[in-house]
Amino acid sequence: MAGSSFSFYDQFLSANDWCNRNGGGGAAFPTCVKTASTDPYTYRHGTILLKYTDISLANPTADELGIDPSILETSPERWREVFTAANLYAHAHNAFHGFPTFQRSEASDGIRFWVALIRGTGPGPAGNGVTWRDIPAEEVFPEAPAGVSSFLSLSPQMWMQQLDAWALAHDQGAALPTGWTANYGGKWVVGAVLFEPSSVARVLLSGTELDYYTEICGKESKWPLPTTATGSVHIVASSDSLAPPAPLALDEAPFGDPLYVEPFKVDYFRCVAKRTGTCVVAVFARGPDGVQMVIRPRTDNRQIVYFGNGTSRGTWIVAHRFNFDRQEGEGEVTSFYRGPRESQEVAFELTPATAGPGQIQAHTIGFVKQGFLGIALPIMSFAYSSFIRLSPGMDLLFNWVSPE
């Protein structure tokens, strides 16, 4: 059992999109728990379906909801503010509770969010089995010492997983955080809406059913995604990254040489780019600087490489040709130099076939950083294992980046 590698907000969005497509319930929320399936490329994801009779949907503006919509992208750690705002909105509209589905749209009066409003009439059988409770934080988060607020910084996925475990251990069908917490006499509590087993349906949905692009692209590229204990996806990584964070979480180097990307992994990046519009992947070097790679899909099979330099030293991008029959390199075929702080521009177009006008026949690309007295440092270059092999139909944008 592990957490999903899909983002917290996207898991809520996908669960409710699935409801809309399949009529599986009036609204839904994820448990953020995933289990292995018989398909090595996908997982089964715990999903809670609510009854039509117990919910209604509202579509307030961000102002009416009382949130700054930018925090969803800029400050995901502020997720509880969105949940408490939905709770307050529900109470103001005579509902027992409300939670955001994270489905939203642009309107003339601003961004609007869908909120599921829940009807609660008390324990069954007299009521509908939807209740509310302040739960001692130490029961939900036993790893956090009593009276300590460290649980507040845990990920929202961890909140969902551990509240779900608490609910099952206490004969409930599901639990949903309200986002509210309190400290009474040194004892922390977390607010939760509880659902008796008869009031919800617990289902396991595959990542393909939920349209999780991480799993769909893993299946299409035949890359069963390895994940860390925290559920993040291994792409290309090192533990001492200085590059900008990427949407696909990066925290370890699982492939031996952390800079080598096999073709099927590049196919994964391209699939993500096609489904999301772009795919940002942080690729790292030794020393104070790193490289950020962005993949954008193309409608043709061209491979166009852009290169920029945000550091204080000159940098090169180089292309090599590789003999796949002999499994050895044939050497550098071209390079492109950018001086300190020079912006991104087209470096070259690559093709593995016979080069046409304006094209370079090459298979892999690497990077070189200018060292002391202008001498090139062989960082991410001059070794096939540290090159990135390209896949058709992509613009590849590379930037040296610096924490300065």
Whether pTM exceeds 0.85: no
The region of weakest confidence among 65-69, 97-101, 239-243, 282-286 is 239-243
For 72-126, give the DSSP string. Answer: HHH-GGGHHHHHHHHHHHHHHTT-SEEEEEEEEEEETTEEEEEEEEE---BSTTT
Burial grade of 331 (CB within 10 A; 0-12, 13-18, 19 or more): exposed
Query: Model confidence at 266, in pLDDT bands (50, 70, 90)?
Result: low
Strand order in the sheet with 97-107: 55-58, 110-118, 97-107
- The encoded tokens of residue 81 equal 């503010």
128-132, 138-142, 165-169, 247-251, range with the lowest pLDDT? 247-251
What's phi and psi for 231, nearest 5 deg? 95, 5
CA–CA separation, 305 vs 398, rounded Å?
8
| Inter-residue contact 181 to 106 (CB < 8 Å) | no
Evaluate if residue 371 carries a pLDDT over 80. no
257 — pLDDT class (breaks 50, 70, 90):
very low
Where residue 140 falls among pLDDT bands split at 50, 70, 90? Answer: very high
Give the chain's mean pLDDT: 79
pLDDT score recorded for residue 300? 87
- Higher-pLDDT residue of 84, 254: 84
Phi-psi region of 222 (alpha: psi -120 to 50; beta: other; left: phi over 0): left
- 181 is written with which tokens? 């917490």
Residue 336: is its pLDDT beyond 90? no
Predicted confidence at residue 369, as pLDDT, reads 61
**Torsional sign, CA 234, 303, 381, 376:** negative
Q: Among 40-44, 154-158, 176-180, 361-365, which is the least confidently predicted range?
A: 361-365
- How many CB atoms sit inside 10 A of residue 288's CB? 11
Asked if 61 contacts 109 with a C-beta cutoff of 8 angstroms, the reply is yes
Instruction: Give the tokens for residue 310.
Output: 């945000």
Per-residue pLDDT tens digits for 166-208: 999 999 999 999 999 999 998 999 999 999 999 999 999 999 9
Query: Strand (E) positions, 252-393?
Result: 279-284, 290-297, 303-309, 315-323, 328-338, 345-351, 359-361, 364-370, 376-377, 388-389
The secondary structure of residue 155, as a DSSP letter, is -
- Render pLDDT for 17-58 as a digit per residue (tens, 0 to 9): 998 888 755 799 999 999 988 888 889 999 999 998 999 999
pLDDT at 249: 27
53 CB-side CA count, 13 A = 8
What's phi and psi for 198, nearest 5 deg? -75, -10
pLDDT per residue as tens digits for the range 108-133: 988 999 999 999 999 999 999 999 99
* pLDDT value at 381 more than 60: no
List the one residue out of 287, 290, 327, 292 whose CA is nearest residue 306.
292
pLDDT at 83 over 80: yes
- 90-96 average pLDDT score: 97
Q: Are 158 and 229 in contact (CB under 8 A)?
A: no
Task: Give the mean pLDDT of 130-144.
Answer: 93
Whether pLDDT at 3 is above 50:
no
Pair of tokens at residue 280: 């940002």
